[in-house]
A and B are shown apart, each in its own frame.
Chain A
């Protein structure tokens, strides 16, 4: 009877839950082992985000709810401590100093994706559990279960995948690996496929203009990839994957302790092959380009456990893509008599070096982050050749200092430098350019208590071609009660539009590209607000998130496919251009170990194209996503199911010329389903799954596929999946130290 009453109570007042308070005092162990009260320690219940901070005298009080036992104490410079709390007696906790900044690990069911309430920047963290939900294979495919990021093919022949964040093209999101900008310039089109999934430890997606520390580039947001670290527990990891379509893949990584925990090294290998020509839609074109990839990476880590850490790595990648008509062979002479073909050969060498020093007090830290990349591509699209290489160097030095001992005021300041050299050649036009951009920045963070954070930053960059420009950005977070967190952000972003190289896939159409400037600077303001509600409903966390982001371009590269029947025009914006994105999502566990995510987003993206403000073509007006993830007790089985509802949108057609056989001006909404089952064993796990389970395909992704050298040929009007149902199976093996 009592239970029924409690249940009734929960139903009526889902927001209220019974709780008692635990209080205590936190000490830090000093150099001579003496105890000192420790202020500012982050104290929270394990697997929740409900936390408090100890006050100036080290005292704290935290509410305890049903089912909360493990209390976690974490503070920079000290080893994180977990305590099993029973009863309500006051606690006395002593933290041991630890100079290495460690991350808090989460045991029990990893929810995969986690939205931080503490970070002032609206950030979604995608952890290992989430990465296991997707088939494999690379960064582009890791967002299938994510409501914020859309992934689509840019055309029907090259297999290039593009992401959209806030409905905006991937170029407006800054891609980073290990907190350093990467995969830009020539790597823009295929960069997402250069990061093998099993190499990744986690991905962070933040929306809106990001922190100024990493540069001026992020406009819609930032996507950061963290690779597995050489000092991880994992000694050996192997993964094989095969799809019914004939794609075979191998991934492996191994860690070695060269000198105890001080010097460690990791080796990463990826090889994949797709040699089977598939044409399921019978248009005479290969559905997915044939591909051979080899990718290796070696990284090193040094940690002296006295505050100094350094990491370095070097990697090489070789990729060969071949697409076009089924009968095309690479050695064929390229004439209009022979079948149409596309070939893209890429070689990429990249490396990084970073180091950091934390002062013994833990209040000051210096970090150097630098990377370089040499990228060379030789390609042809039908009769057109495109050859390019890029050499890029980036360095950033950041000084972080807490202005007071509680860490309530801190400042990040530093200098950065970018040198980027391009050689390109299209239609026998050589395009050469060098960008050199030194920059300075400062960012102030005010965190008077656990509830409020204000982060304001500004940077100035001195560009050799575009002159001096200033980037101001601001983020604010306010958690005005345990259940409600509110965030706003505003900021400016810039980027260099590489007019030809980032649109090179548009060569897969009959109309030649027409452009006047080889490069110019894009500029935009971004504003955003989000509101997160956290409740405990039937003892389980319920999170509801609502967010709105608005981006307004002052300068933008506009792709005009509809004004001229002779050319595709790449020109700078003349008029208005904006993007609005409104998203709601909800996460809950209705029954134990079943995680449900419901999400819905509306896009309103308009651009002035040919003098008229129009909806951005080939972009869905909305997206709905439902994801179910169920694991059995002790996580021996995992079931995952995702359904995406993509809204309709506009197809660009040339309106002026009636003679052109125009297709429909609209595409209809479509649905995509993915499912996967994973069975875990002690050292290995096996997974079977299907992408695009219902097999929905865009009809005629290639316009006039029968006449690839004719005047109506176009393989770039792609808005939906080109491939139907794909079934795959994979195996992962791991050994820990």
Chain B
């Protein structure tokens, strides 16, 4: 019985999650930034996740990159770049390919 409830819940949550995220067209924007510590990563994540229309977000201080996906019409690249700069970080726009190149091919930083 418990198993059944569990399964029902899984299906329910799975379905709602899928439908809400697939509703509107989204746009991806990537930036190269100037974070130098983990706290910056945290600050920016906390700040950007509440920007209008944001659907997905990856902030990484090791590669100094920001990946952001937002709903079209709710926000635009420039406003997001401004918002990053407002917090005191660089927001140099890069293409999605460049972003993936940075994140996927990064070598461990050697001290």
Which A residues contact B (CB, under 8 angstroms)?
Answer: 82-87, 89, 91-94, 107, 590-592, 594, 596, 598, 626, 628, 630, 632-636, 680-682, 736
Q: Give chain B's interface residues, CB within 8 Å of chain A.
A: 2, 6, 9-10, 13-14, 17, 20-21, 38, 41-42, 46-47, 49-50, 54-57, 60, 62-63, 104-111
Complex: A634 Cα to B6 Cα, angstroms: 24
| Closest Cβ neighbor of B42 among chain A residues | A107
Q: Which 3 A-B pairs have the closest CB atoms?
A: A682-B50, A84-B62, A634-B49
Q: Which residues of A contact B6 (CB under 8 A)?
A: 590, 596
Q: Which residues of A contact B109 (CB under 8 A)?
A: 83
* Nearest B residue to A95, CB-CB: B111
CB <8 Å contact, A591 and B13 = yes
**Contacts of B107 on A, CB cut-off 8 Å?**
86-87, 89
Q: Which residues of A contact B42 (CB under 8 A)?
A: 107
Smallest Cβ distance from B43 to chain A, in angstroms? 8
A-B contact pairs, 6 of them (CB 8 A): A84-B62, A107-B41, A594-B9, A633-B55, A636-B50, A682-B46
Most buried by A among B49, B55, B104: B49
Evaluate contact between B111 and A93: CB separation under 8 angstroms: yes
Bound complex: CA A636 to CA B6 (Å): 23
Least distance between B99 CB and chain A CB atoms (Å): 15
CB of A295, distance to nearest CB on chain B (Å): 29
Q: Find chain B residues with CB under 8 A from A82 CB.
A: 38
Judge whether B106 and A84 touch: CB under 8 Å: yes
**Complex partner residue of B63 from A84, A85, A89, A736, CB under 8 angstroms:** A84
B57-A634 in contact (CB<8A)? yes
Contacting residue for B49 out of A591, A630, A636, CB 8 A: A636
Which chain A residues border B111 with CB–CB below 8 Å? 92-94
Whether the Cβ atoms of B2 and A633 lie closer than 8 Å is no
Residues of B with C-beta under 8 A to A682: 46-47, 50
Q: Does the CB pair B38–A86 fall under 8 Å?
A: no
A522 to B105, CA, bound (A): 64
Using A84-B60, A635-B49 as known contacts, say yes or no to A594 and B108 having CB atoms under 8 A apart. no
Q: Given A591-B13, A636-B49, decide whether A87 and B38 contact each other with a Cβ distance below 8 A.
A: no
Q: How long is the Cα–Cα vector from A94 to B72 in the complex, in angstroms?
A: 44
CA distance A598 to B49 in the complex (A): 31
Are A92 and B50 closer than 8 Å at their CB atoms? no
Give A156 Cβ to nearest chain B Cβ, in Å: 33
B38 / chain A contacts, CB cutoff of 8 Å? 82, 107
Cα of A275 to Cα of B61 in the assembled complex, Å: 52
Q: Which of B2, B46, B50, B54 contacts A626 (CB 8 A)?
A: B2
Nearest B-chain residue to A680, judged by Cβ: B50
Tell me if B49 and A681 are in contact (CB < 8 A).
Answer: no
Given contacts A87-B107, A636-B50, 18 further A-B contacts (CB under 8 A): A82-B38, A83-B62, A84-B108, A89-B108, A91-B108, A94-B111, A107-B38, A107-B41, A591-B13, A591-B14, A592-B17, A628-B9, A633-B55, A634-B56, A636-B49, A682-B46, A682-B47, A682-B50
